[in-house]
């Protein structure tokens, strides 16, 4: 934002430093006998200094957005906007301001959930059926106390495994258990395609606006934001940024170079294959508009 603001305003103030200082001095002196020139002095000096630093990032952004809006350099979009209107305007305007409800997609959290899905499901099944489990465990304890020989004790002990299997079955019936290999492979694909991105999406009439957020640029942690507003928000957010991808209805794969013994051509062929594979993960959808976000906030 500071780079763009500097182009508009020929420089931008990042902060204001306000400094106040005061100093007082008390002196007591006494002349000695004539011709001695002796002065007895007790000097007390006290200094007080206060510094106040005002960060102007929010104010700078307000000026930045207002200037662009006043100059008709921004496409203002809400939930009633159509993609054709956006594409027509985007030919000459780069900035966009979208007002709509938001969906937060935290890939880091999703991957962690996938890797621990079965453990979490088993824990949920255990907690939600704790009354029944406690009753069964109480009966087992009584049976152990009344068991007379080792054979009876071993039979009672084996019933603990039966209880655990019953919990696993209850979790599976509730859809809380999936094939672990499937979950691990899905987490691997998400890790390759999306890493730990924090992605947001805003759904409009016939298209979707999406952007990747930098976690370290958020005023609050993503967990706290989602806790406050929900993963699918009920209130509308404003996202201001630069349109980066919007034109094509259908994305075409990158063509492979012609077969040749050249090492460079062979390497380019491998890069092409990887690029086409990557496109299946992060490629823009036909009805998707991708922007580089500058600000995300709720409006008064």
- Cα–Cα distance between 204 and 100 in angstroms, integer? 7
Q: Give the architecture-level CATH label for domain 76-105+197-297.
A: Beta Barrel (2.40)
> How many residues would you count in the chain?
300
- Cα–Cα distance between 225 and 298 in angstroms, integer? 12
Token duo for residue 123: 């824990």
- Cα–Cα distance between 12 and 268 in angstroms, integer? 44
Q: Are 238 and 290 spatial neighbours (Cβ–Cβ below 8 Å)?
A: no
| 3 state DSSP class of 275 | helix
| Whole-number CA gyration radius for the chain | 34
- Cα–Cα distance between 217 and 101 in angstroms, integer? 21
| 3 state DSSP class of 27 | strand
Burial of 135 (0-12, 13-18, 19+ CB in 10 A): exposed
Q: Which of 65, 83, 46, 45 is nearest to 1 (CA)?
A: 65
Provide the pLDDT for residue 283: 75
- Cα–Cα distance between 1 and 164 in angstroms, integer? 57
Provide the pLDDT for residue 149: 58
Cβ-Cβ contacts under 8 Å for 70 (sequence gap 6 or more)? none
- Cα–Cα distance between 94 and 183 in angstroms, integer? 40
Provide the pLDDT for residue 156: 56
- Cα–Cα distance between 185 and 115 in angstroms, integer? 9
Q: Which of 119, 125, 274, 277 is nearest to 183 (CA)?
A: 119
Provide the pLDDT for residue 153: 57
Provide the pLDDT for residue 40: 47
Q: Which residues pair with 48 in a beta bridge?
A: 22
- Cα–Cα distance between 80 and 132 in angstroms, integer? 52
Provide the pLDDT for residue 204: 92
Token duo for residue 257: 């170079």
Provide the pLDDT for residue 260: 53
- Cα–Cα distance between 298 and 300 in angstroms, integer? 7
- Cα–Cα distance between 285 and 248 in angstroms, integer? 9
Nearest 5°: CA angle at 217, between 211 and 222?
75
3-state secondary structure 36-74: CCCEEEEEEEEEEEEEEEEECHHHHHHHHHHHHHHCCCE
What is the CB neighbour count within 10 angstroms for residue 290?
17
Q: Are 252 and 279 spatial neighbours (Cβ–Cβ below 8 Å)?
A: no
> Mean pLDDT, 10 residues at a time, over the chain (300 residues)?
57 56 59 51 58 62 87 91 89 93 91 89 85 76 64 60 79 87 88 85 92 90 90 93 79 53 72 70 82 90
């Amino acid at each position: 934002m500071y780079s763009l603001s500097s182009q508009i305003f020929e420089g931008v103030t990042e902060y204001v430093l306000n400094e106040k200082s005061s100093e007082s001095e008390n002196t007591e002196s006494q002349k000695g006998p004539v011709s001695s020139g002796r002065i007895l002095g007790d000097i007390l000096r006290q200094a007080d200094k206060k510094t106040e630093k005002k960060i102007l990032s929010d104010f700078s952004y307000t000026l930045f957005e207002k200037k662009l809006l006043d100059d008709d350099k921004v496409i203002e979009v809400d939930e009633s906007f159509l993609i054709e209107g956006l594409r027509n305007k985007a030919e000459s305007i780069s900035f966009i301001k979208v007002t709509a409800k938001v969906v937060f997609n935290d890939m880091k959290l999703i991957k962690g959930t996938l890797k621990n899905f079965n453990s979490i499901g088993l824990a949920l099944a255990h907690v939600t059926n704790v009354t029944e489990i406690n009753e069964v465990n109480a009966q087992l304890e009584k049976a152990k106390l009344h068991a007379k020989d080792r054979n009876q004790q071993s039979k009672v002990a084996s019933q603990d495994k039966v209880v655990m299997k019953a919990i696993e079955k209850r979790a599976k019936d509730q859809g809380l258990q999936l094939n672990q290999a499937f979950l691990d492979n899905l987490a691997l694909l998400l890790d390759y395609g999306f890493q730990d991105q924090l992605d947001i999406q805003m759904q409009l009439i016939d298209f979707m606006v999406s952007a990747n957020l930098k976690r370290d640029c958020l005023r609050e942690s993503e967990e706290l934001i989602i806790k406050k507003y929900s993963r699918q928000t009920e209130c509308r957010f404003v996202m201001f940024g630069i349109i980066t991808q919007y034109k094509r209805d259908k994305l075409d794969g990158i063509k492979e170079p012609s077969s040749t013994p050249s090492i460079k051509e062979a390497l380019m062929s491998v890069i092409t294959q990887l690029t086409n594979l990557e496109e299946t993960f992060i490629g823009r959808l036909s009805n998707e508009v991708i922007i580089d976000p500058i600000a995300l906030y709720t409006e008064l």
